[in-house]
Structure 1
């Protein structure tokens, strides 16, 4: 079933056939078969071992995840970007504050909604999630939930160098025991060949390019256009350059220059179809807020298919070249290239979490 869908995608030139992808597809097919196999009258269905797909950016991990999810003929399934899932978990923990074993309660709630959960971009970069994840995964696995996850890192590389990482090791062990770990990495970023670079990324930042960007804003925005307003996002004001009901324009420093969470960018994604960003420049290592927030912004916008139009002083490859965020930023650059492509710009905005 999955192989047929994969071959159809190859035949229609949506993807190129790749040996590593086909190997991963065989494992996903086994999981697929286990999930759709009916349980007997006397015995409940056994837990089906999941899969952890890792590799460099643009090597087809998310494509395989979506191929599996979209072709799986069961209702109790969920697909989410990992940071969105963790955001939901934190919200539920806040709601259940004071109750005994809240993670077990959350796991039972999720088990009613899904027997399989697909995570895109499994990544841990803060101590709060790291300390939470072991107990959360344990509770979810006890509910016989199957996971399919994509990541840029091996399980053993997750949260590497993080505070109190020794307390995160049990979570890594759970991932390795309950999932088949598969490398999906041919060394080729298939997304880079699809980009049409002049559609939504403008540089250098000079008067001519500013005029082009403003013309694009006027073409996409529904009137009236408001100038130099403020928008409230999660109880905080952000200054805007221009704003309409469906499009908004920010200065890079105003949107990314102070600490922000993914929730801020999720709210913007939900409210606006088009986000314009001017003032993007070559980022230096000390500009930590700008770097980390830009990574978050691109992750959110890419996953939901929010259309981002950028005016920058440098090409995409020169935004951030080296430093401690380089590993994460490789994903950001690859996504920025794809976000200029016609297929991305014509795609419909996605739901935050798919649940059927």
Structure 2
């Protein structure tokens, strides 16, 4: 397989030249016919402008501050720079809030896009260090995030990821810092013991503080798709991270299918964090916008080519034969390929070039130890993934359903082609009543996903909250599958590299 790897590309970059704001990019996409004109969607783009201006103003003032500080010593520069950044950020917020009050920007915007939280009403919320956009699936929230990522912020790096991938990375870094501190403390204790000292006086910062400082320095702008909490541990960690990160001047743009006040069901800690989230983020509800994934699917649907049911042996052979036909002549399959990630080994049962084939049970389910970073590794490595024997997701174990949700999210983020055979029609995969028997399924208790939860404390309430999160996730993934089966998506390129070893036209021929 030959690949030309490139820096992560934005899916809209081929259609727009370098522009300063999301609004300008939207107007250019409409003028080129890539998007259809939608006043509501343009209003959503306008909500990105205040945050971008705050970042750019902070950028310009920080640059001048660094010039002033350059005469200082190297040891003082980092601490003074952080102090200046926080000061400049506060000044930028005050300036733009006063400007927005004079121009009455808040009143104009709230008439077009509903603000669903009382703390957001008023000029002081016109500009902040964050933007939280929520609304129905398929209305263009992810596109806004992509376009915001393209906006120039030359001195500040952006981190673009799904929230669950970021949380996995955050947990790994915390574990790494804890190990480092444990080793350092042991070494210091041994040194003091050798000197026969009665006290070590050895103090360490909290690991979360160390990690937050590192992330703010590396990527001061965070762009998260699908702000959502699945379990107690992640909700609490998320609240603690942003409590510290906002205080250190981080910028956040994120999307969600629900308002922040509905995210605290799994954790009282996250509920206590909500006022701080609203203090730093402009929370807007975007509605009245068409589901554009359905529009894309109607323009050219190939769902019956790539999402095949029922999952019979004949359908499996037919799908794999079309995959073979799409590969270059003479291609050979490799079996049980090992992929290394953070010292762990993930097994890919069958690969050929940029194509990987899994049985559903080999990638999802309670017997698999795969998580967001594994799925992200697969998505970054392969341009096409084939799943065989996918069950009805709405009635499988919570763990398997969550893994499938995260897998599809990661594949969608990297424009990976997804092909599968399923026990039921793909549009009914997320029904929570068994399609065959008509009865609600009751997964075994040991199949349930309960990471970070204590069932003795939460009981049935946790199950209800988890079910609400799953239903929202089902709606989002179903909407994404609508697009992933469209002609436009299937002919698109992988985000990270150019594909020259797969003929999509041959794949779609019956």
- Shorter-chain-normalised TM-score: which range? 0.7 to 0.9
Instruction: Give the 3 Å change call, closer, same or farther, for CA 101–239 of structure 1 in structure 2.
Output: closer
Instruction: Give the 3 Å change call, closer, same or farther, for CA 35–116 of structure 1 in structure 2.
Output: same
Kindly state the Cα deviation for residue 63 of structure 1 after the two structures are TM-superposed. Answer: 0.8
What secondary structure, in the 3-state scheme, does the structure 2 residue paired with 1:168 have?
helix
Q: Of the candidates 208, 214, 220, which is equivalent to residue 109 of structure 1?
A: 214
Q: Of the candidates 148, 170, 175, which is equivalent to residue 68 of structure 1?
A: 148
Q: Structure 2 CA distance, aligned partners of 1:230 and 1:33?
A: 47
Kindly state the Cα deviation for residue 238 of structure 1 after the two structures are TM-superposed. Answer: 5.0
Q: Is the CA contact (8 Å cut-off) linking 2:339 and 2:348 kept in structure 1? A: no
Instruction: Give the 3 Å change call, closer, same or farther, for CA 297–190 of structure 1 in structure 2.
Output: same
What secondary structure, in the 3-state scheme, does the structure 2 residue paired with 1:96 have?
helix
**Is residue 363 of structure 2 the alignment partner of residue 255 of structure 1?**
yes
Q: Of the candidates 400, 410, 423, which is equivalent to residue 300 of structure 1?
A: 410
What is the aligned partner in structure 1 of residue 426 from structure 2?
Answer: 316
Give me the TM-score of the superposition, normalised by structure 1: 0.88
Q: Of the candidates 26, 29, 32, which is equivalent to residue 12 of structure 1?
A: 32
What secondary structure, in the 3-state scheme, does the structure 1 residue paired with 2:282 have?
strand
What is the aligned partner in structure 2 of residue 57 from structure 1?
Answer: 137
What is the aligned partner in structure 2 of residue 183 from structure 1?
Answer: 285
What is the aligned partner in structure 1 of residue 228 from structure 2?
Answer: 123
What is the aligned partner in structure 2 of residue 157 from structure 1?
Answer: 262
What is the aligned partner in structure 2 of residue 330 from structure 1?
Answer: 475
Kindly state the Cα deviation for residue 208 of structure 1 after the two structures are TM-superposed. Answer: 4.7
Q: Of the candidates 19, 43, 46, which is equivalent to residue 23 of structure 1?
A: 43
Q: Of the candidates 174, 177, 187, which is equivalent to residue 276 of structure 2?
A: 174
Q: Structure 2 CA distance, aligned partners of 1:27 and 1:342?
A: 31
Q: Of the candidates 194, 207, 210, which is equivalent to residue 296 of structure 2?
A: 194
Moved more, 292-301 or 73-82: 73-82
Structure 1 spans left out of the alignment, 5+ residues: 352-356
Q: Structure 1 CA distance, aligned partners of 2:402 and 2:238?
A: 21
Structure 2 spans left out of the alignment, 5+ residues: 1-20, 69-83, 94-127, 182-203, 434-466, 497-510
User: 1:75-86 alignment to 2 at 5 Å?
Assistant: 75-78=155-158, 79-86=160-167
Kindly state the Cα deviation for residue 134 of structure 1 after the two structures are TM-superposed. Answer: 2.0
Moved more, 44-53 or 273-282: 44-53
Deviations 1:28-85 (A, max 9, x none): 1122222222216587522451110001111111111111221234341312221222
What is the aligned partner in structure 1 of residue 456 from structure 2?
Answer: none
Q: Higher Cα Rg: structure 1 or 2? A: 2
Deviations 1:81-129 (A, max 9, x none): 2122212211211111035222222222222223322111111111221
Instruction: Give the 3 Å change call, closer, same or farther, for CA 236–2 of structure 1 in structure 2.
Output: closer
Deviations 1:265-316 (A, max 9, x none): 1232233222111112324535333322211111111112222111223222
Q: CA RMSD in A?
A: 2.6
What secondary structure, in the 3-state scheme, does the structure 1 residue paired with 2:278 have?
helix
What is the aligned partner in structure 2 of residue 218 from structure 1?
Answer: 324
Kindly state the Cα deviation for residue 184 of structure 1 after the two structures are TM-superposed. Answer: 1.9
Instruction: Give the 3 Å change call, closer, same or farther, for CA 316–14 of structure 1 in structure 2.
Output: farther
Q: Is the CA contact (8 Å cut-off) linking 2:395 and 2:431 kept in structure 1? A: no
Q: Of the candidates 89, 93, 99, which is equivalent to residue 170 of structure 2?
A: 89
**Is residue 248 of structure 2 the alignment partner of residue 138 of structure 1?**
no
More helix by share: 2
Q: Is the CA contact (8 Å cut-off) linking 1:52 and 1:179 kept in structure 2? A: yes
